[in-house]
Amino acid sequence: MPSLAVLLDPSRIAIQSHACPKCLGPMILARIKPSRIGFELRTFQDVNSDHVDKVVTETKSMKWISSGLQAPA
- Residue 69 domain-assigned? no
CA distances from 65 to 40, 41, 59, 71, 73 (A): 16, 20, 11, 9, 15
Q: Which domain holds residue 41?
A: 4-61
Q: How many domains does the chain have?
A: 1
Cα separation of 22 and 24, whole Å? Answer: 6
Give 32's strand partners.
Answer: 42
- Residue 73 domain-assigned? no
Helix (H, G, I), strand (E, B) or coil at 63: helix
What sign does the CA torsion over 11, 67, 56, 25 have?
A: positive
pLDDT per position as a tens digit, 42-52: 999 998 888 99
pLDDT per position as a tens digit, 10-68: 555 556 677 888 888 888 888 999 888 888 999 999 988 889 999 888 876 655 555 66
- Residue 66 domain-assigned? no
Q: Kindly report the pTM of this predicted structure.
A: 0.59
